Structure 1
Amino acid sequence: MGEGDPAAGGFYYKFVTKDIVYFDLETQRTAGDVGGWNRKQLMKVSLAVIFSTKDGNYTIYPEKQVGELVTRLQRADMVVGYNILHFDYEVLMGYTVLDLPHYLPTLDLMVDVERAVGHRLALNALAQATLGIGKIADGLDAIRWWREGKLLQIAEYCCFDVKVTRLVHEYALQHGELFYTDRFFRKRKISVNWRCL
């Protein structure tokens, strides 16, 4: 039985009938390359990855398939990501006329977490404190790999980021809380209410 197999039962089965799409992308350029963070539409997609709870599969989209990616996101019951409203969608809007933040049903985990704690937290901080796992690289590594032509490494990193986002979201759905470590190295709890999805 695979992870997406309804016969497997458990928590995952609750999502089989809903098409929850976890999404992340990596870029070809840094903010410095394009003249600042207000010009994200010029940063260009290197690779994007989604995971769909409906089919239980990861799908990788290179830049030439960004149109297909946008179409796929439109079919989702909910798109879930970390900082996708203010980063990933803005990068994608360099390829489409759609106003994605207002067009797609979206849960941006970072927005809710920031609202709860009063400041931004990295996905890595939540994953380490909540699940004991950490990211394997960062966005600057992915840009360097793009310049070196190492697309497989970008794909592996982006898939792992999507998996971490999914695990953090699913933990919060099950337990109604997440954790992070504050600047005094104390483990702190964040109450979240994402059960309506």
Structure 2
Amino acid sequence: MAYDVVFDIETKKSFDEVGGKAHFDKLGISVVGAHISEDSSASLGTGKYYAFEEHEIPEFEKMIKGARCVIGFNIHHFDLPVLQPYVGWSLKALNTLDLMDDVEKGAGFRISLDNLSESSLGARKSGDGMQALRWYKEGRIEDIKKYCLKDVELTKKLLEYGKQHGHVLFYSKHTGGRVAIPVSWSNMEAKLAGIKQTSLF
């Protein structure tokens, strides 16, 4: 059966520690958090959250290889480039949906997951990436897993909100209030069907 994966990655090191943003391959992965959609196959478990440590990445690789769509927030510019050195095939082969890219197209600028989640869902992130880096140095892997899975949960709920309402909300300093950004995530099924159909020729 077809299933979608929402995921997020936490790294071992920051860009400052590896010589800048040209060195995704040196960041290293501490934790991958993932959610499998409700219509997944029974062998994976329906509607479940998973946290993978670095040595378990081959299991996550199998998961995304079989996915209909791989979804995240800023995955095109961060998570997928960080993951690429761990797999022996091009991740560009995946059908992907990057919520941040879609929001940026609608707004004309980037907006954080925290802003979108608080404005749209009334929920905030449980920490930040720098805190997760400190936790890794302290060996607090379980804390990283909880933080990472919270980000996955927020991304999943933001996707669901956008599908239901046709927009997401963010807080604008210019207006001093919440502003709606149109999104077309409810059309994801049709888009994926089109991609699959095109690939047959």
Is TM-score (shorter-chain normalized) higher than 0.5?
yes
Matching of residue 95 in structure 1 with residue 86 in structure 2: yes
Deviation at 1:65, TM superposition (A): 1.5
Find the partner of 1:105 among 90, 95, 102.
Answer: 95
1:160 counterpart residue number? 150
1:75 counterpart residue number? 66
Segments of structure 1 that go 5 or more residues without pairing to the other structure are 1-16
**1:129-144 alignment to 2 at 5 Å?**
129-144=119-134
Q: How many residues align?
A: 180
Q: Deviations over 1:42-79 (max 9, x none)?
A: 10000101100121111111001112212211111111
Deviation at 1:99, TM superposition (A): 2.3
Query: 3-state DSSP class of the match of 2:23?
Result: helix
Q: How many angstroms apart in 2 are the aligned matches of 1:133 and 1:181?
A: 13
- Residue identity over aligned pairs, in percent, reads 34
Matching of residue 63 in structure 1 with residue 54 in structure 2: yes
Matching of residue 192 in structure 1 with residue 183 in structure 2: yes
Query: 3-state DSSP class of the match of 1:94?
Result: helix
Query: 3-state DSSP class of the match of 1:56?
Result: coil
Q: How many angstroms apart in 2 are the aligned matches of 1:196 and 1:75?
A: 21
Query: 3-state DSSP class of the match of 1:181?
Result: strand
Q: Amino acid of the residue matched to residue 143 of structure 2?
A: Q
Q: Amino acid of the residue matched to residue 167 of structure 2?
A: E
**1:108-127 alignment to 2 at 5 Å?**
108-127=98-117
Q: How many angstroms apart in 2 are the aligned matches of 1:87 and 1:19?
A: 23
Contact 1:24–1:50 (CA under 8 A) maintained in structure 2: yes
Q: Deviations over 1:123-155 (max 9, x none)?
A: 111001111110010111111000000011000
Q: What is the TM-score normalised by the length of structure 1?
A: 0.88
2:43 counterpart residue number? none
Deviation at 1:40, TM superposition (A): 1.2
2:10 counterpart residue number? 26
Q: What is the TM-score normalised by the length of structure 2?
A: 0.87
